[in-house]
Amino acid sequence: DARVTQTPRDKVTEMGQEVTMRCQPILGHNTVFWYRQTMMQGLELLAYFRNRAPLDDSGMPKDRFSAEMPDATLATLKIQPSEPRDSAVYFCASGLLLMEGWTEAFFGQGTRLTVV
Amino acid sequence: AQTVTQSQPEMSVQEAETVTLSCTYDTSESDYYLFWYKQPPSRQMILVIRQEAYKQQNATENRFSVNFQKAAKSFSLKISDSQLGDAAMYFCAYRRVRRDDKIIFGKGTRLHILP
């Protein structure tokens, strides 16, 4: 049963601490997205990758957020230093873009981050 | 820039009845994909239905169907025979048919099912 795996599922941290969220995309998928979900803003795209290369990270606060794909099986989203306004649910999704079209994006269960 | 608008923050429907969730979008593209995702309390985002803009026929998946009006840039979701398990947030989403493009989501509609 192929699925996107995100860890941790929940994270509580103190302001100023570094937070790293991990995502294992579905094997063979060539596109990975990071979204942030809040009540006020809904689902915001932070960054996305194609074949491990970043295509767009314009939605990400560059001073404290960074996203990487060290290899095809792992995507990371790091916040350093974390702030209370970063509290949200962070979703990773993966999909497969083929020449003949796009397949659906599969989402992980998200990481609920609380910064106190 | 492309935008997706869901004008109904919340809706309620009686169990077994039919409900329609609205979505409009703004784009200058002629070819794109549209999606409806469901997010139950478990947080999992689940694809409900998708529509390719070049297809005139409305997509259908069991009790879920869409009314795709390309000229009006409207993409509504109809849920027939509503069930308690349909209670969730529903997100409308858009993606251009380009290799470097991303999925854009609306703000969502929370659907309540009344027993």
Residues in A touching B33 (Cβ below 8 Å): 102
Which residues of chain B have a pLDDT value below 70?
A: 99-100
Distance CA(A103)–CA(A105), nearest Å, equals 7
Shortest Cα distance from A37 to chain B (angstroms)? 10
Give pLDDT, residue B99. 64
Distance CA(A97)–CA(A102), nearest Å, equals 5
Give pLDDT, residue B59. 93
Mutate to test the interface with A, among B37, B43, B46 (most CBs of A within 10 A): B43
Q: In this complex, do B47 and A50 lie within 8 Å of one another by their Cβ atoms?
A: no
Give pLDDT, residue B49. 95
Give pLDDT, residue A56. 86
A74 Rama sector, left if φ>0, alpha if ψ -120 to 50, beta otherwise: beta
Give pLDDT, residue A73. 95
Which residues of chain A have a pLDDT value below 50?
A: none
Closest-CA residue in chain A for B103?
A: A45
The reply to whether B44 touches chain A by the CB within 8 Å rule is yes
